[in-house]
Amino acid sequence: MPIIFFHPLEYLRLKENNRVKVKCIDPIRRTEFVKIKNVRWKVNPSLLISKNIQNADIVINTAIPKRHHSADFSCALKNCFECIYDTFRMYAHKKHLTEKEKGEIYFDKALAEFADAVRPELTIVDARSILIKGGLILEGKAEVKKGLNKLIISRDVVAVDSYCAQLMEEYDNTFESMKRVARQIRYAENLGLGTGDLSKVEIIELKE
């Protein structure tokens, strides 16, 4: 049974040390993608998604909470970007850069639609440390906040982002989750990806 992980960190070591088969997605090779449609999508009536993801029996989304120059916040939903054909991703970034608020709205809806195309069965977030104040890489004002020591595991990709946005807000005084993340979460909820209302979620904390 094929199991697809999508995040590059450390997985090549899995291949070397544990005989795990690793497939890398070429984001600009059209033959590696398949077209899908969804009448609920408002900004991308159709998308091209990796055949590896589309045909997988199980998709496990592994993400890291971080600030992001276009999404403002990147975690479980945003992590699905990498499974979509490059043209759609670049267009979303271009709209964000050139059309200000309208572009932000487009980007946030595209982000949720990309995640809806992927629909991972399980999400695992490594929040032992998070990237605050800037991103998506460590430059400028960006800073790694260590010591959170959390791993978040859930089947609900929306609840994960809602929970991790609260973490970001707690440790990053420049972050206002309601400004952008709330819109992303609302649209993802409307697409049936999960719930952002953590009062409806059973949160179980395990400590050593």
For 97, 106, 113, the CA distances from 182, given in Å and listed in that order, are 20, 14, 15
Q: Distance between CA atoms of 128 and 125, rounded to whole angstroms?
A: 9
Provide the H-helix boundaries in the chain: 11-18, 51-54, 86-98, 100-118, 157-171, 177-190
Enter the pTM of the model.
0.89
Q: Is the peptide bond before 136 cis (omega within 30 degrees of 0)?
A: yes
Tokens representing 141? 């004002």
| Per-residue pLDDT, 27 | 86
| Per-residue pLDDT, 120 | 96
Q: Distance between CA atoms of 86 and 162, rounded to whole angstroms?
A: 27
* Sole residue written with tokens 């104040």: 133
DSSP 84: B
Q: What type of residue sits at position 48?
A: L
| Mean pLDDT (10-residue bins), the chain, 208 residues | 50 65 82 96 97 94 93 95 95 94 95 98 96 84 93 97 96 89 96 97 88
All structural domains of the chain: 3-200 (3.40.50)
When computed from its CA atoms, the radius of gyration of the chain, rounded to whole angstroms, is 17
| Per-residue pLDDT, 174 | 93
Q: Distance between CA atoms of 36 and 54, rounded to whole angstroms?
A: 9
CB 94 within 8 A of CB 86: no
CB-based contacts of 53, cutoff 8 Å, min separation 6:
4, 6, 59, 83, 118
Q: Per DSSP, what are the bridge partners of residue 150? A: 127
| Per-residue pLDDT, 1 | 46
Strand 72-74 and strand 58-63: pairing?
Answer: unpaired
| Per-residue pLDDT, 73 | 94
